[in-house]
């Protein structure tokens, strides 16, 4: 009798809890997004090794991308050396926790080994040699991760900020303009099932959007196997026009038959001159919030974040993923770019991993009827 009573009490309590949870609705980003949107985070080792970080990651997010450890410099440091040891730890973590993994990246002008496209004196390799190196590089890496990543940023930041079209990179100088097309073709040949993306910053902005459209249209016209375009979205509170520009850009990318992803979202609250994410930018700048983020700034950041997620929700089936470039404020690259050593607050979670006002604002957007 006593046992039956205990059981009954337990049942009542658990069903009461369940209905309370149901009435309160989703409590995490991934629950709130459901299957409408992948919610991603860029991570590094601490996020999978530190139990608290890992708990935040796996409860809030359903996809990951490595901020650094999949880059060509680390996976392919020397012509005949490929190193998958660290990267494979993320694969194991993603598999253990049912997270989708995205590979970032196969080709970039930064964090890339010189041997791919330059001789020892720094001169561009002849086209045929550059192409052969690109093919080996991409084939080896994509084959290694076959069935383990859902998609690859195949070419990262190939468009120029100031020149009229493509960025002048070692790959461009060795192979020529079709290096982008070839990169996608080699990746597709190695894994016909994996999604392939072009990823860049500021391509929603008027100065760069036409270049992006030109490139993506040329790739589609040439029947290049590209699945989607990643708009990075390294935003600033002081650049409030982004959502309108984003709204306008998305249908035009979608009209080419591309999925659209917001791949590196953060909202910088500190003053900076550099727009986007030019890694070479270095500045001096104020560091006003070392003692904490003022409530009004946190509130403004929340509104900004919400407006970006709202744009994603406005394009169901087209915008398929929103990835924040980090998880919490302490691990964000914004603490060191473009000014070194500042206390920045670009993410949805605070340094103690608690949700910031922006988290609640994003949840409101994701759960709105």
Active site residue 185: no
Q: Are 359 and 349 in contact (CB under 8 A)?
A: yes
DSSP-derived letter for residue 273 is S
Check residue 158 for interaction with ligand 9MR (CB under 6 A): no
User: Which one of the listed residues 95, 157, 283, 299 is annotated catalytic?
Assistant: 157
Residue 336 C-beta: closest distance to ligand 9MR, Å: 7
Q: Are 238 and 271 in contact (CB under 8 A)?
A: yes
Which secondary-structure segment (H or E) carries 357? helix 357-367
Check residue 236 for interaction with ligand 9MR (CB under 6 A): no
Check residue 323 for interaction with ligand 9MR (CB under 6 A): no
Alpha carbons 41 and 62: distance in angstroms, whole number: 8
Q: Which C-beta is closer to ligand 9MR: that of 59 or that of 110?
A: 110
φ, ψ (nearest 5 deg) of residue 37: -155, 135
* Among 185, 264, 328, 361, interactor with ligand 9MR by CB under 6 A: 264
The residue with its CB nearest to ligand 9MR is: 277
* Among 212, 261, 274, 277, interactor with ligand 9MR by CB under 6 A: 277
Active site residue 245: no
SS3 content of the chain, % helix, strand, coil (to 5): 45, 15, 40
* Site track for ligand 9MR across 111-130, x = CB under 6 A: x-------------------
Q: Are 272 and 283 in contact (CB under 8 A)?
A: yes
Pick out residues in 9-68 that bind ligand 9MR (CB under 6 A): 67-68
Q: Which C-beta is closer to ligand 9MR: that of 156 or that of 324?
A: 156
* Among 150, 254, 279, 313, interactor with ligand 9MR by CB under 6 A: 279
Size of the site for ligand 9MR (CB under 6 A): 10
DSSP-derived letter for residue 161 is S
Q: Are 305 and 362 in contact (CB under 8 A)?
A: yes
Check residue 333 for interaction with ligand 9MR (CB under 6 A): yes
* Helices first, then strands: H and E counts in the chain: 13, 9
Check residue 212 for interaction with ligand 9MR (CB under 6 A): no
Residue 72 C-beta: closest distance to ligand 9MR, Å: 11
Q: Which C-beta is closer to ligand 9MR: that of 47 or that of 156?
A: 156
The whole-angstrom distance between residue 301's C-alpha and the CA centroid of its chain comes to 19
User: Which one of the listed residues 195, 204, 245, 264 is annotated catalytic?
Assistant: 264
Kindly give the interhelix angle for 179-190 and 127-144, rounded to the nearest 10 degrees: 30
Check residue 345 for interaction with ligand 9MR (CB under 6 A): no
Q: Are 118 and 170 in contact (CB under 8 A)?
A: yes
Residue 269: CA count within 13 A, CB half-sphere: 28
Asked if the bond preceding 178 is cis, omega within 30° of 0, the reply is: no
* Among 47, 60, 118, 156, interactor with ligand 9MR by CB under 6 A: 156
Check residue 86 for interaction with ligand 9MR (CB under 6 A): no
The catalytic residue positions are 157, 264
- The residue ranges that bind ligand 9MR (CB under 6 A) are 67-68, 110-111, 156, 232, 264, 277, 279, 333
């Amino acid at each position: 009798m006593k046992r039956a009573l205990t059981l009954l009490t337990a049942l009542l309590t658990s069903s009461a809890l369940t209905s309370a949870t149901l009435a309160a609705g989703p409590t995490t980003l991934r629950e709130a997004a459901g299957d409408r949107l992948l919610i991603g985070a860029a991570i590094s080792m601490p996020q999978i090794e530190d139990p608290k970080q890992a708990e935040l990651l796996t409860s809030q997010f359903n996809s990951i991308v490595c901020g650094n450890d999949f880059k060509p410099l680390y996976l392919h440091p020397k012509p005949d050396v490929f190193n998958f040891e660290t990267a494979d730890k993320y694969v194991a973590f993603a598999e253990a926790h049912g997270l989708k993994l995205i590979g970032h990246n196969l080709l970039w002008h930064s964090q890339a080994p010189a041997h791919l496209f330059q001789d020892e004196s720094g001169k561009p390799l002849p086209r045929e040699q550059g192409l052969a190196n690109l093919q080996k590089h991409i084939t080896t890496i994509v084959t290694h991760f076959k069935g383990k990543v859902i998609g690859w940023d195949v070419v990262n930041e190939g468009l120029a900020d100031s020149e009229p079209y493509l960025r002048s990179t070692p790959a461009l100088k060795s192979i020529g303009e079709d290096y982008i097309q070839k990169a996608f073709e080699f990746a597709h040949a190695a894994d016909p099932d994996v999604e392939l993306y072009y990823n860049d910053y500021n391509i929603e902005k008027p100065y760069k959007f036409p270049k992006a459209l030109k490139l993506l249209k040329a790739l589609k016209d040439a029947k290049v196997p590209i699945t989607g375009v990643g708009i990075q979205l390294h935003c600033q509170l002081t650049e409030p026009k982004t959502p309108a520009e984003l709204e306008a850009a998305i249908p035009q990318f979608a009209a080419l038959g591309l999925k659209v992803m917001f791949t590196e979202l953060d909202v910088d609250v500190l003053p900076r001159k550099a727009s986007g994410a030019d890694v070479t930018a270095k500045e001096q700048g104020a560091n006003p919030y070392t003692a904490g983020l003022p409530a009004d700034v946190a509130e403004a950041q929340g509104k900004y974040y919400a407006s970006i997620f709202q744009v994603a929700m406005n394009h169901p089936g087209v915008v398929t993923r929103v990835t924040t470039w980090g998880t919490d404020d302490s691990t964000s690259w914004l603490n060191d770019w473009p000014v070194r050593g500042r206390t920045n607050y670009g993410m949805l979670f605070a340094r103690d991993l608690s949700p910031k006002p922006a988290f609640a604002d994003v949840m409101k957007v994701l759960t709105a009827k």
